[in-house]
Amino acid sequence: MKIEKVMVIGAGQMGSGIAQVCAMSGYDVILHDLKDVYVERGLGTINRNLSRQVEKGKLAEQDKEAALSRLKPSTQIENAGEVDLVIEAAVENMAIKTKLFKELDGIAPAHAILASNTSSLPITEIAAATNRPEKVIGMHFMNPVPVMKLVEIIRGLATADDVYSVIEDMAKSLNKVPVEVNDFPGFVSNRVLMPMINEAVYTLYEGVASKEAIDEVMKLGMNHPMGPLTLADFIGLDTCLYIMETLQEGFGDDKYRPCPLLRKYVKAGWLGKKSGRGFYNYNQ
């Protein structure tokens, strides 16, 4: 099966990044969201990212224009009727995702693959909402999508081998490195990353060190590009909390309990960079 047309659902940070790399790799892309303003914002981000690359001399103006011409806006889910692959990057909420996949199952062509960019929700459960569980798979991109090489490819219980191969090849065509993972809470990326971030929040909570010191230890001592608290702000503290809760519930193990300080920040609306304040203040 050859993938030519892709619909990306969700024009936020992840969805617009996924749409950008797909369009840059020659796919026709429909960028879909609930409202025009969200889609316009996503397209604006893509335009800015590509323009920056042109300014730096890393991309030819005509290649930027060609990529932009392959991107079509959408607020009508029925547009999924003409694509070979849907990549869903909507909000991390199981009820919303299962409703969406059920709807897509009724609209997308029979051959189409339905992928989710979920960062921790079970692919098997999302797949069970459709009549094509063998064609449902996880494609977990990392933030910022245009920069990060990894795509974690998650096999649901029923995902067919040929579907896995098509998606693996597709990820390679995006100049990404696919890594095969089975469907367990948090997959590999967030099962390892989030407890580390949560532990960093505990060290702050318990007064072991200041936020700057914790970040410095991990940056200089472990060669991480960002300290864990800066990274948490970058990912979004609500997302970090949600993933910890998914791990705790999914494994039934309190070793994944979210730090009370993380909960407190989220309750305060301190969600990290996107809200202007998290562990650090971005309003100054």
> CA of 26: how far to CAs of 13, 70, 113, 254, 273, in Å?
21, 8, 18, 45, 32
Which one-letter DSSP state was computed for residue 174? T
**Contact status: 272 vs ligand CAA (CB under 6 A):** no
Strand order in the sheet with 85-88: 71-74, 28-32, 5-9, 85-88, 113-116, 136-141, 150-155, 177-182
Q: Using CB under 6 A, which of 7, 8, 23, 235 touches ligand CAA?
A: 235
**CB-hemisphere CA count at 13 Å for 87?**
30
Minimum CB distance to ligand CAA smaller for 4 or for 61: 61
56 binds ligand CAA (CB under 6 A): yes
Residue 76 vs residues 45, 67, 214: alpha-carbon distances, Å: 21, 22, 46
One residue of 231, 232, 247, 262 binding ligand CAA per CB under 6 A: 231
Catalytic, 79? Answer no
Question: Which residue's CB is nearer to ligand CAA, number 57 or number 252?
Answer: 57
Q: Which residues, 161 to 190, sit near ligand CAA by CB under 6 A?
A: 189-190
Give yes or no for a contact between 279 and 229, defined as CB atoms under 8 angstroms apart: yes
Of 169, 165, 115, 93, nearest in space to 6 by CA: 115
Q: Does residue 267 bind ligand CAA (CB under 6 A)?
A: no
User: By CB under 6 A, is residue 203 in contact with ligand CAA?
Assistant: no
- Residue 25 among the catalytic residues: no
Is 111 noted as a catalytic residue in this protein?
Answer: no
Which residue in 152, 189, 198, 275 is the catalytic one? 152
* CA distance linking residue 10 with residue 90, whole number of Å: 5
Nearer to ligand CAA by Cβ, of 130 and 189: the residue is 189
Indicate the residue whose CB is closest to ligand CAA: 119
Q: Is 281 a catalytic residue?
A: no
Count of positions on this chain that bind ligand CAA (CB under 6 A): 19
Say whether residue 49 binds ligand CAA (CB under 6 A).
yes
**Strands 136-141 and 113-116, bridge-based pairing:** parallel
- State the nearest-atom distance from the C-beta of 122 to ligand CAA, in Å: 14
CA angle 154, 151, 38 (to 5 degrees): 100
Catalytic residue among 49, 119, 120, 189: 119
Question: In whole angstroms, how close is the CB of 273 to ligand CAA at the nearest point?
Answer: 10
Q: What are the start-end ranges of the E strands in the chain?
A: 5-9, 28-32, 71-74, 85-88, 113-116, 136-141, 150-155, 177-182
Residue closer to ligand CAA by CB (options 119, 124) is: 119
Which residues ranging from 115 to 154 are in contact with ligand CAA (CB under 6 A)?
119, 142-144, 146-148
55/254 with CB nearer ligand CAA: 55
Residue 40, token pair as written in the block = 């316009």
Query: What are the catalytic residues?
Result: 119, 140, 152, 190
Footprint of ligand CAA on this chain (CB under 6 A)?
Answer: 49, 52, 56, 58, 119, 142-144, 146-148, 189-190, 193, 225-226, 231, 235, 239
